[in-house]
Amino acid sequence: MSGLAALLAGHTPPGVYQWHSKAPMPDVQHAVEKAGWHFCYLDGWTVEDRESFLKGACACLDATEPADDIDGLNAALDAADVGDCGLVLLWDGWSPLARHDDATFDQALDAFRRRSSADGNGALAVILRGDGPRLELEELPIKH
């Protein structure tokens, strides 16, 4: 069973993970939605600063108001529609932000960790896909 399948089936708890899958984004979205989870996609390949990240993250989450700071991101995460099963946020291209604005990147990871471990708002799994600087994140295996 792949790490994504284990997550969607509830065998792996929601959280923030790193993943090295090369599966096309539409295939990942299809798998997530077929399992009953909501899906959002953050394309971070051109995101190198706080303003661009917050704009992209809030758009991904369908936030009603743009975020000016990490508190705004926290509010968007708390208000996100997670449906019955949960929400998977796939963040491709996280490394440009990590390399160019490590303070914002660290704050974003903290916000994602806080929300993914919170009770009462529904499940949230954040998947940072691809290569980049070394992270202290659990790896979501491609296959078990």
Domain boundaries of the chain, sorted by first residue:
3-139
Q: Quickly count: other Cβ atoms within 10 Å of residue 110's Cβ.
A: 14
The CATH number of 3-139 is 3.30.370.10
pLDDT over 70 for what percent of the chain?
98
Minimum mean pLDDT among 11-15, 28-32, 65-69, 74-78: which range? Answer: 65-69
pLDDT of residue 142: 79
State mean pLDDT over 19-25: 94
Model confidence band, residue 121 (pLDDT cutoffs 50, 70, 90): confident
**Backbone φ/ψ region at 90: left (φ over 0), alpha (ψ -120 to 50), beta:** beta
* pTM for the predicted model, two decimal places: 0.94
User: Residue 102 burial by CB count (10 A; 0-12/13-18/19+): exposed, middle or buried?
Assistant: exposed
Task: Indicate if the pLDDT at residue 78 is higher than 80.
Answer: yes
Q: Identify the residue whose tokens are 């959280």.
A: 15
Bridge partners (DSSP) of residue 42 are 91
Paired residues of 129 in beta bridges: 19, 92
